[in-house]
Structure formats: C-alpha cells, structure tokens
A = this chain, B = another copy of it.
C-alpha cells in the first residue's frame, strides 16, 4: 500500500505499516498490535505531543537512571519495532543502563529476532535472550529474566508493559519507571514514576536530559516524584481536550 504524505494521519499510518510488517516477521505479536492501537487512542486524546507534566516525568526519569546502582531497560516486541534506535541512544546516554529482552509471548526464535533488531540498532550487549532466573509470583513468561539484568536491578524502565509485571517488580522492592500512554493502565498505576507519553518521544527526551545532566556534572540523585499527581494531571488534560472538542461542531482534530 502506498501512503500519501498529505493524509491527515500520515505519521500514524507510517508507524502502523511498520508494525504490520514487524507482525508479519514475528517481532510483534497480534496482541501487540491491539495494544498499540490503545496507545494511539490515548496519544490522540493527549494531543500527540509531550505535555509539560510528561516532560517533568522524563527529566525525573533521567535523574533516577543516573542515580540507580543497576538500572535495566526492558524491551518487548513493540518496543523493538517502534524504537530500537531510541533504545540504543538511551543506552549510550546512560552508560550504566542494561538492556534486556523480556516477553509475554516468548519463543526462543522470537527472543533472538528481537535481540537482532536491537543489535542492528547498536545495542550491545542484549540480555534476556536465554533467561537465567525467574521472578516469583508471575505466572507468564514475563517471569523469565536474566540474573545479571532485571533480576538484580534496583530500577527497571518498563515501556509498554503489562500490569502484572510492573506490580511484581514493585513487590520485589524494585523501583519502576513506566512509559505508557494510558494513565489508567495497571502499569501506570503500579509505577513509581509513570511517564504518560509516546514511546519514541519519551526515550529521546530522557536521553537528551541524561546527556545534559552529565555534561553539567550534576551529582546523581533520586529526585522526588509524585506519581499520583502526574497521573491525575494527564487525566485532567484529556478531559479538557474532550470538553473543548465537544463544544465544536463537525470539529477539527483534537490538537487544533
């Protein structure tokens, strides 16, 4: 299918076509496409831009990643398909950050394929292809992790994750940063630091801030973050956008 750059939803269409290809090649599972659609809806309602509240969360995330003893970024099929380059750039900007493949729908071939996508983008090493440990209390394959990675991390950055997993990490005393466009999702609600923003925008913003902090030689610190307030802010912003749209007739897109 050819996509016309004049289409009002051109960018969304390009991303969708890329994910559809990634589904055909087995990097993304069908359930991942449905999850992407949910995210799209929330991004649309948020105006498809990084709100000031999300920017604050991204700055705090950069501080936490620098302050952590052993931070790990968890990657699933959607993350690899949507943002492999951004993952590589963040791993470069935060030298202590490990990258681990962690899948709900795991097969050895799929894990290898996703690791290949990450390596091609410059991520090295990629943990989690052959799991060496198990998180207790998680019935899914999400429990299968790398002993040197998620298992021993003090901070996990979990983009586009499922709620069970985020809750299991917190129960183990690990801090969780989520990137999820749905401020009501179980992942967002379980996270210590929920970033309610689109994946590539969030990863780029965190990387840029981490580089800035390093250049200024700021000492690492666990800055405070009010997760409840951040979620409530995002919800109120969507509500405002909708009420504004409701007062227009045959209205323009939500960001206009």
Contacts and interface: CB of A to CB of B under 8 A. Distances in A.
Given A29-B20, A37-B34, A238 B242 contact: yes
A223 interface: no
B246 A239 contact: yes
Contacts of A17: 31
Nearest to A235: B246
Interface residues of A, number: 44
A134 interface: no
A16 interface: yes
Contacts of A38: 37-38, 40-41, 44
A30 B24 contact: yes
Given A23-B30, A37-B40, A254-B184, A236 B243 contact: yes
A235 B228 contact: no
Interface in A1-58: 1, 16-17, 19-20, 23-24, 29-31, 33-42, 44
11 contacts: A19-B30, A24-B30, A33-B37, A39-B41, A40-B41, A44-B184, A184-B245, A184-B254, A189-B251, A228-B250, A239-B240
A107 B23 CA distance: 19
A182 interface: yes
A31 B3 CA distance: 13
Given A37-B40, A184-B254, 6 more contacts: A33-B34, A37-B37, A231-B246, A232-B246, A235-B246, A238-B242
